[in-house]
Amino acid sequence: MEFLVCMVPYFIYVSFKSLNSIHMLQQNKYNSKNTYLKWLYHNPKQFLDYSLLFILFIIFIFVKNEKVMLLSFAVFYFILYVILYLKNKKSQNKLPLKFTSRVKRLLVTDVIINLTPIILVYFYLNNIYGLLILGLIAYLNNLYVLLAILINTPIEKYVGYYFKRKAINRLKNMPDLKVVGITGSYGKTSSKNILNDILNIKYNSMPTPKNFNTPFGLMITINNYLDKFTDVFIAEMGACQEGDIKELCDLVHPKYGIITKIGVAHLATFGSRETIQKTKFELLESLPEDGTIVLNGDDEWQRSYKPKNKCNVKWVGIDSEDVDVRALNIKLSPNGTEFDVKIKGDDNLYHFQTRLLGYANVYNILAGIALGLVFGMNMDQLKAGVSRVKAVEHRLELKPKGDIVFIDDAYNSNPTGSKMAIDVLKMMPGKKIIVTPGMIELGDEEYIKNKEFGMQMKGLDEVILVGNEQTKPIQDGLKEIGFDFKKVHIINDVLKAFDMVNDLKEGETYVLLENDLPDIFNEK
């Protein structure tokens, strides 16, 4: 009984530590394509915690006092739990653990595999060697939790198969449903929401919620949100490697598509821009020949692609003249954007207004207009749709807080979008401050793109960088343009940035929050 009582603090500690490990697993897509293991490899500090001190219990090989040994074991893990609890309470978790059905199944399995060694040690190795084994398991919890993933693999495959068949059958029972696929290196979520707001003027349109752009996300949307009244299903399609878009197209079979922009996002997993280009165009190649895809005429990676599919192509652009839908006379202001639209074959200019900011959103609106025309919408309907488009959360979203206006672009993480966000900030009156940890997942181009990002900050009043090591390329870029380093502030906790902004504000102040990275990139 004494043994089991002394195991209570240990079990609480390993369970709490497992919760942290599962949180990081979730942010690393449950170790899909070994992303969690790669994160551990690049963050060896995860193995430098106080639980390593369990090795000191080896002294009880020589001090043969069972009661003292068990009491010391219990006190040790109670202290570790308190330390971990206080650390978590002060941490800056930007993406909290989502208690999805998968996480709940994982937690049940994890509790079982944490209890199992305790029971085995109690019956078969109730001595110091058993406690050392338990200590090793607690120390290696970041790896031990992968056992729960492995055990649950057959269950997750069955669950995935069940929901896939359910989604396929539901789509088969909706033969009149118009399915639109949207992909690109960036701008997918903004384009999806803009298109939805435009189409909802005439149709009952349903987009995938938030960033549900994986096979499972699409299945959830189809099974839980589509109904007999839905006219248009807009499927955001994300990809990390070749074949991902085709997998999504094989699930939902889109007839229409939009490719936003092809850049270097996820270059580390794709390997090359050519592979990114090929993967994004899996959407075009998956459409039926009577389908339609909207492409960006100002994107050289879209212009240079040679399609095999003979489907209808609609080009949009700002700089290119040879496009089907073009924006002219663009005027940006703190209140939004207005521009004229020229339709190929029509001599008229049509004036549009939107509350959205930045050139990136103009491209997304043009794509929505182009597809709206294909769907039979007239110009008055399109104008009404564009005027009612709402800002997408965390994407150049204005958030006034007293005499400070935050420009929330936290979900952005690409070179083109980051530059446009800085251009928006420079357009604002008053003092201009940027808060950023830089960009990630850009492969071999990560250093140079972040350095260029730093060089684009010329003209800003203050720069707050999150993570000293992470932002070294930005610092190099700032040095190259001769930026005053008295106005560069480096912190390791993003929450401290808000206190710093309050200290730095002067009169009307605009603060750009750019590229808020997940917790797996925190620097302490």
**What is the per-residue DSSP string for 368-416?**
HHHHHHHTT--HHHHHHHHHTPPPPTTSSEEEEETTEEEEEETT--SHH
Q: CA–CA separation, 189 vs 205, rounded Å?
A: 15
Confidence band of 398 (pLDDT split at 50, 70, 90): confident
Q: CA–CA separation, 464 vs 315, rounded Å?
A: 39
Q: CA–CA separation, 293 vs 278, rounded Å?
A: 15
Asked whether residue 502 carries a pLDDT value surpassing 50, the answer given is yes
Alpha carbon distances (Å) from 240 to 74, 137, 440? 45, 33, 13
Share of the chain above pLDDT 90, in %: 65
Confidence band of 397 (pLDDT split at 50, 70, 90): confident
HEC profile for 140-172?
Answer: CHHHHCHHHHHHHHHHHHHHHHHHHHHHHHHHH
Q: CA–CA separation, 167 vs 465, rounded Å?
A: 44
CB count within 10 Å of CB 408 equals 20
Who contacts 14 (Cβ-Cβ below 8 Å, separation ≥6)? 114, 137, 138, 141
Q: CA–CA separation, 336 vs 8, rounded Å?
A: 58
pLDDT score of 450: 93
Q: What are the boundaries of each domain within the chain?
A: 2-154, 174-387, 397-521
User: What are phi and psi for residue 510, nearest 5 degrees?
Assistant: -115, 130
Calculate mean pLDDT across residues 381-398. Answer: 87
Calculate mean pLDDT across residues 399-420. Answer: 83
Which of 476, 474, 479 has the alpha carbon at shortest distance from 434? 474
Confidence band of 245 (pLDDT split at 50, 70, 90): very high
Asked whether residue 95 carries a pLDDT value surpassing 70, the answer given is no
Asked whether residue 340 carries a pLDDT value surpassing 90, the answer given is yes
3-state SS, residue 296: strand
Under CATH, to which class is 174-387 assigned?
Answer: alpha beta
Q: CA–CA separation, 377 vs 409, rounded Å?
A: 31
Domains 174-387 and 397-521 share a fold: no
Considering the segment(s) 397-521 as one domain, its CATH architecture is Alpha-Beta Complex (3.90)
Which of 313, 318, 311 has the alpha carbon at shortest distance from 371? 313
Q: Give helix 146-172 / helix 101-124 axis angle, nearest 10°.
A: 150
Which of 375, 224, 238, 394 has the alpha carbon at shortest distance from 294? 375
